[in-house]
Amino acid sequence: GCKLEQVFKSFERESMGSASIGQCHRAELLDGRSVVVKVMRPNAERLFRGDLDTLDTFCKLAQPHICPVFDEFRRQFATEFNYTREAANLHLMRGSLSSKWQTTVCIPEPIDSLCTKNVLVMEYLPGVKLVDAMQEQAQREADRRGVTV
């Protein structure tokens, strides 16, 4: 809980991307490093759990054999709502990257001192997003074969 000016030289209020539980903003730290700030949406976890509870209640009435699936969803998504765990996973992935991939795949380094359960700050990596590169590669291959993606 500190003011943006205490941490960032600049902070783009408009998000550079968003997903169901959060959104990302470009920023510059006071020391000049370019970063991405991933911010969890307010009440995202509570709303998600409420939606699962609603589906679970419905399934208990309509199709009880599906109910165990929702317990598994709860377990799997428990880590999604904690950005400090995501930062730890980024460190793990960076350390596990084989030397074969280190020159072609980059994983951003989290700034641990600025990460919380609801905020993840990591280095900004310019370049093509992995999903975009994969789509471009698929399109090139489809073009080569004369088919559509």
Which of 5-9, 37-41, 95-99 has the lowest average pLDDT?
95-99
Residue 100 vs residues 29, 97, 109, 127: alpha-carbon distances, Å: 32, 8, 19, 19
Q: What is the pLDDT of residues 66-92, one digit of tens each?
A: 888 877 877 877 777 899 999 999 999
Predicted confidence band of residue 26 (pLDDT cuts 50, 70, 90): very high
pLDDT mean over 93-107: 82
Predicted confidence band of residue 64 (pLDDT cuts 50, 70, 90): confident
> 56-70, 80-94, 96-110: which has the highest mean pLDDT?
80-94
Given a contact cutoff of 8 angstroms between Cβ atoms, the answer to whether 149 and 139 are in contact is: yes
Q: What is the mean pLDDT of the chain?
A: 89
Residue 99: per-residue pLDDT: 75
Say how far apart CA 83 and CA 37 lie, in whole Å.
Answer: 11
Beta strands in the chain (DSSP E): 8-11, 17-18, 22-29, 34-40, 119-123
